[in-house]
């Protein structure tokens, strides 16, 4: 029997799995495929750290190296410190004997605890599993549905004032970057004033980048954006990726926080030092630290004075609760927040809950340029037309941790001023940097084999789609200059006759792509790992309304496949609603599409006619799910995620009953009839379960029995599925 591994993860997609997976297994086992689970949730990773659970992430790391590896990966939490602490507290409450996370370790024991927990923070899962490059695109049925049922994009105002502000290559990661190609496998050492920070095992032909963010110039830049926002009469907001760039971006967030409220931080510096206040964790953590202090009310009032003064307004995470952009470093995540700025007509929400024009502050020019061009394009040309706009697919370099946001083990907040050197094994200095105390220095890496595969995949997709295929590479950026040399070398060895393949800097590529999209033409963007992340949220959210509806296929270098199911950025709000009233609005379309691709891979690999028939029927079901508009409602008392699973099961069974495989047709004929004839009863049972609070036994680690009962409330549906 063939095997598909289904990841157990967090929040809304985890809840949905309790309902969906029994249906999936009932259908796939009929064609000789077993779907098994692997727990890579935040709670699972925490428990594995203390040997209280199997380290299933490491096991999956081995599976992706196998030629027949087949994994469906749902979105997981890239944990901030705040989320990690909440998870630890919940697990302790469930009886697990694990230590607290020491934010400010004061001895070796606490440093060891912090180090062990560090593997649970940020992008802990993706670097392990992504042993292949990314192929992300909209399924034709999904694109067709979006054009026929367009979601709303709000118009940009006439004479729009919204804009993006980034550092102009002056002291940021872009401007300070240096890059080298290693000429043989060897150890490479990063040192500060001669003292080792980290030694890595570099590979032959690997690209190594070194760069740093000047904190003094960052602070000057932040202060200027605040001044400009006030002068221009726009809302102020900062957009970072503190979940993935778990070292650098919380630090940048903390500096922005202290600059905006510089008078408060100066006045209460002694109190904050006494209480170990860390601005990198935001206002929510600060309020916890000062709780019960004699000056608590005074400090809160001082912050409020700044908020209500003649400073520019701060963008709000939750206007009703008074939660600002500075609440926590992971509240505003750039790849989710910036598409919303564009979708809303260049606006974000103020304290009153009104959508108003804004400046979006994206410090590093490396990627700020993309967002600047996106907003400028809409200011100049108006909002996009969902009914006619073209589609932007993406081929992303991400295999073997390629260009990983500044790899976490090689990102440092410098403890002193001086020279950072990157040296070869023989002592030769490959790169050096003169830095100040507190600067953020980081190294990124891109290995040669993944780069070669990335170029191959781009040509393969260009050959299939026959549309312009653009490598987003800037010859003025040190890393990209090295990449361009490799791209040109590897393109020369591939058949590119008749293909439109170009290399453009980020600004030019964005303009070219947007011009095509506005004309209804399709484009393939070929990008590094960070731009892959940003583009595959921006364009799908504009085109489809969500990035969760994109096909996300990772052809693994070893020969297997990893099938990702979309973004989980809105998942926490979905869980909040479910716990309050039993209604889950998470749309599992990403899971439906990933399952179809996973089954297709198995059917083609093994030339299995039965699997091919099962997959074809699921394709029909997915199309029917879209065309019949069966996505979950946002409103309690109307069909939700559980009902969407029922409809896919009904359509899938019907397609199998009417299909060419006699065994499957015979097996699913009665199932199709039962699901159809009992539709009203099943939907009634599902909706009857809504309207009341649900106890699932835990947010990060739900009780399986309680969560299953909450997500499988229809006895009629359960009986039909369990009898297959």
Share of the chain above pLDDT 90, in %: 89
304-348 residue pLDDT tens = 999 888 789 999 998 888 889 999 998 889 998 999 999 999 999
Instruction: Name the token pair of 216.
Output: 């003094």
Task: Give the position of tokens 């979105």.
Answer: 75
Helix, strand and coil in the chain, % to nearest 5: 50, 20, 35
How far apart, in Å, are the Cα atoms of 605 and each of 70, 463, 543, 599, 668?
11, 22, 32, 10, 25
Task: Centre a 10 Å sphere on the Cβ of residue 184 and count the other Cβ atoms it contains.
Answer: 10
Contact (CB, 8 A) for 406 and 247: yes
Q: What is the DSSP string of 244-263?
A: TSTTHHHHHHHHHHHHHTHH
What is the DSSP pairing of strand 440-446 with strand 207-213? Answer: antiparallel
Contact (CB, 8 A) for 131 and 558: yes
What is the DSSP pairing of strand 355-361 with strand 392-396? Answer: unpaired
Q: What is the DSSP string of 689-701?
A: T-SS----S-SSS
Give the model's pLDDT for residue 103: 87
Q: Please give the biggest Cα pair distance in the chain.
A: 78
pTM of the entire predicted model: 0.88
Please check the confidence at residue 6 and state whether its pLDDT lies above 70: yes
Q: Higher pLDDT residue, 141 or 612?
A: 612
Q: What confidence tier does 568 reach under pLDDT thresholds 50, 70, 90?
A: low
Please report the sign of the dihedral spanned by the C-alpha atoms of residue 143, residue 148, residue 152, residue 158. Answer: positive
Adjacency order of strands within the sheet including 186-192? 195-202, 186-192, 418-423, 429-435
Coil vs helix vs strand at 451:
helix
Share of the chain above pLDDT 70, in %: 98
Angle (deg, nearest 10), helices 42-49 and 108-118: 140
For residues 662-666, give the mean pLDDT: 96
- The residues that bridge with 35 in the sheet, in sequence order, are 4
Q: What confidence tier does 664 reach under pLDDT thresholds 50, 70, 90?
A: very high
360-376 residue pLDDT tens = 999 999 999 999 999 99
Q: Higher pLDDT residue, 238 or 319?
A: 238
Please check the confidence at residue 48 and state whether its pLDDT lies above 70: yes
What is the DSSP pairing of strand 70-73 with strand 561-564? Answer: parallel
Write a three-state SS string for 167-184.
Answer: CCCCCCHHHHCEEEECCC
Give the model's pLDDT for residue 570: 59
Give the model's pLDDT for residue 622: 94
Q: What confidence tier does 409 reach under pLDDT thresholds 50, 70, 90?
A: confident
Provide the mean pLDDT of the chain: 95
Q: Domain extents for the chain?
A: 173-214+405-445
Please check the confidence at residue 566 and state whether its pLDDT lies above 80: no
Q: What is the DSSP string of 113-175?
A: HHHHHHTTSBS-SHHHH--B-EEEEE-HHHHHHHHHSPPP-PPPPTT---EEE---SSSSHHH
Q: What is the DSSP string of 591-659?
A: HHHHHHHHHHHHHHHTT-HHHHHHHHHHHHHHHHHHHTT-SPPSSTTS--HHHHHHHHHHHHHHHHHTS
Kindly report the CA angle at 404 between 400 and 406, in degrees rounded to 5?
Answer: 140
CA–CA separation, 713 vs 708, rounded Å? 8
Q: Which of 306, 202, 184 is nearest to 257 (CA)?
A: 306
Please report the sign of the dihedral spanned by the C-alpha atoms of residue 255, residue 260, residue 266, residue 267. Answer: negative
Q: Which of 535, 522, 537, 526 is nearest to 389 (CA)?
A: 522
Q: What is the enclosing helix (H) or strand (E) of 504?
A: strand 501-504
Please check the confidence at residue 182 and state whether its pLDDT lies above 80: yes
Instruction: Name the token pair of 82.
Output: 């705040």
456-515 residue pLDDT tens = 999 999 999 999 999 999 999 999 999 999 999 999 999 999 999 999 999 999 999 999
Q: What confidence tier does 244 reach under pLDDT thresholds 50, 70, 90?
A: confident
Give the model's pLDDT for residue 341: 97
Adjacency order of strands within the sheet including 392-396? 33-39, 2-8, 70-73, 561-564, 550-555, 134-138, 392-396, 523-527, 469-472, 501-504
Please check the confidence at residue 91 and state whether its pLDDT lies above 80: yes
How far apart, in Å, are the Cα atoms of 516 and each of 377, 384, 496, 503, 509?
12, 12, 21, 16, 11
Q: What confidence tier does 406 reach under pLDDT thresholds 50, 70, 90?
A: low
Contact (CB, 8 A) for 364 and 167: yes
- CA neighbours within 13 Å on the CB side: how many for 380? 10
Contact (CB, 8 A) for 509 and 375: no
Contact (CB, 8 A) for 567 and 522: no
For residues 393-409, give the mean pLDDT: 82
Please tell me what DSSP assigns to residue 436: -
Give the model's pLDDT for residue 330: 86
Task: Centre a 10 Å sphere on the Cβ of residue 276 and count the other Cβ atoms it contains.
Answer: 10
| Burial class of 387 by CB neighbour count within 10 A (0 to 12, 13 to 18, 19+) | exposed
CA–CA separation, 506 vs 650, rounded Å? 45
Contact (CB, 8 A) for 542 and 343: yes
Q: What confidence tier does 571 reach under pLDDT thresholds 50, 70, 90?
A: low
Please check the confidence at residue 569 and state whether its pLDDT lies above 60: no
Please check the confidence at residue 169 and state whether its pLDDT lies above 80: no
- Counts for the chain of helices (H) and strands (E), in that order: 28, 24
**Phi first, then psi: what are they for 565, rounded to 5°?**
-110, 20
Contact (CB, 8 A) for 21 and 707: no
CA–CA separation, 243 vs 348, rounded Å? 21
Coil vs helix vs strand at 209:
strand
Domain spanning 173-214+405-445, CATH architecture: Sandwich (2.60)
For residues 398-404, give the mean pLDDT: 80
């Amino acid at each position: 029997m063939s095997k598909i591994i289904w990841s157990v993860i967090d929040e809304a997609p985890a809840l949905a799995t309790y309902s969906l997976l029994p249906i999936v297994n009932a259908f796939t086992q009929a064609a000789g495929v077993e779907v098994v689970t692997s727990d890579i949730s935040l709670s699972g990773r925490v428990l594995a750290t203390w040997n209280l659970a199997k380290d299933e992430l490491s096991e999956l790391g081995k599976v992706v190296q196998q030629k027949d590896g087949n994994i469906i990966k749902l979105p997981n939490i890239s944990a901030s410190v705040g989320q990690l602490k909440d998870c630890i507290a919940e697990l302790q409450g469930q009886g697990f004997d694990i230590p607290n996370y020491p934010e400010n370790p004061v001895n070796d024991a606490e440093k060891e605890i912090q180090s062990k927990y560090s593997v649970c923070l940020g992008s802990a899962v993706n670097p392990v599993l992504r042993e292949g490059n990314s192929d992300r695109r909209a399924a034709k049925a999904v694109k067709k549905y979006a054009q026929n049922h367009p979601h709303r994009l709000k118009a940009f105002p006439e004479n729009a004032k919204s804009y993006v502000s980034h550092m102009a290559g002056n002291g940021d990661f872009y401007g300070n970057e240096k890059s080298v190609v290693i000429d043989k496998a060897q150890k490479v050492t990063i040192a500060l004033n001669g003292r080792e920070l980290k030694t890595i095992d570099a590979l032959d032909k690997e690209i190594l980048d070194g760069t740093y963010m000047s904190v003094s110039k960052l602070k000057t830049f932040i202060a200027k954006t605040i001044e400009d926002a006030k002068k221009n009469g726009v809302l102020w907001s900062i957009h970072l990726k503190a979940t993935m760039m778990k070292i650098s971006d919380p630090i940048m967030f903390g500096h922005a926080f202290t600059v905006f409220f510089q008078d408060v931080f100066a006045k209460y510096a002694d109190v904050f030092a006494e209480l170990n206040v860390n601005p990198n964790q935001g206002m929510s953590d600060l309020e916890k630290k000062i709780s019960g202090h004699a000056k608590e009310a005074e400090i809160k009032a001082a912050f409020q004075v700044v908020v209500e003064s003649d400073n520019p307004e701060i963008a709000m995470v939750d206007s009703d609760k008074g939660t600002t952009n500075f609440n926590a470093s992971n509240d505003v995540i750039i790849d989710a927040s910036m598409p919303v700025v564009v979708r809303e007509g260049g606006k974000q929400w103020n304290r009153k809950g009104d959508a108003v024009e804004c400046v979006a502050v994206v410090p590093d020019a490396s990627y700020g340029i993309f967002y600047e061009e996106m907003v400028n394009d809409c200011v100049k040309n108006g909002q996009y037309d969902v009914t006619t706009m073209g589609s932007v697919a993406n081929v992303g370099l991400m295999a073997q941790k390629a260009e990983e946001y500044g790899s976490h083990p090689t990102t440092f907040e410098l403890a002193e001023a001086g020279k950072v050197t990157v040296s070869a094994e023989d002592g030769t200095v490959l790169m050096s940097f003169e830095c100040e105390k507190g600067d953020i220095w980081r190294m990124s890496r891109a290995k040669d084999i993944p780069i070669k595969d990335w170029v191959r995949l781009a040509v393969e997709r260009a050959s299939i789609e026959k549309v312009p295929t653009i490598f987003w590479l800037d010859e003025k950026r040190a890393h990209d200059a090295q990449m361009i040399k490799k791209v040109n070398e590897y393109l020369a060895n591939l058949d590119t006759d008749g293909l439109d393949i170009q290399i453009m800097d980020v600004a030019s590529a964005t303009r070219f792509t947007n011009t095509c999209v506005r004309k209804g033409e399709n484009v393939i963007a070929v990008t590094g790992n960070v731009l892959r992340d940003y583009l595959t949220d921006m364009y799908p959210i504009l085109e489809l309304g969500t990035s969760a509806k994109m096909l996300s296929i990772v052809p693994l270098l070893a020969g297997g496949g990893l099938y990702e199911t979309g973004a989980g950025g809105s998942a926490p709000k979905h869980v909040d609603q479910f716990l309050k009233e039993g209604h889950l609005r998470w749309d599992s379309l990403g899971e439906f599409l990933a399952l179809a691709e996973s089954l297709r891979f198995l059917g083609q690999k093994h030339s299995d006619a039965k699997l091919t028939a099962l997959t074809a029927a699921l394709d029909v079901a997915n199309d029917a799910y879209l065309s019949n508009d069966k996505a979950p409602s946002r409103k309690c008392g109307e069909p939700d995620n559980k009902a969407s699973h029922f409809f896919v099961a009904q359509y899938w069974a019907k397609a199998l009953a009417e299909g060419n495989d006699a065994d499957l047709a015979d097996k699913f004929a009665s199932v199709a009839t039962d699901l159809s004839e009992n539709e009203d009863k099943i939907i009634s049972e599902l909706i009857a379960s809504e309207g009341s609070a649900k106890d699932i036994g835990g947010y990060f680690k739900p009780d399986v029995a309680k969560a299953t009962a909450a997500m499988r409330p229809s006895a009629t549906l359960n009986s039909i599925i369990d009898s297959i």
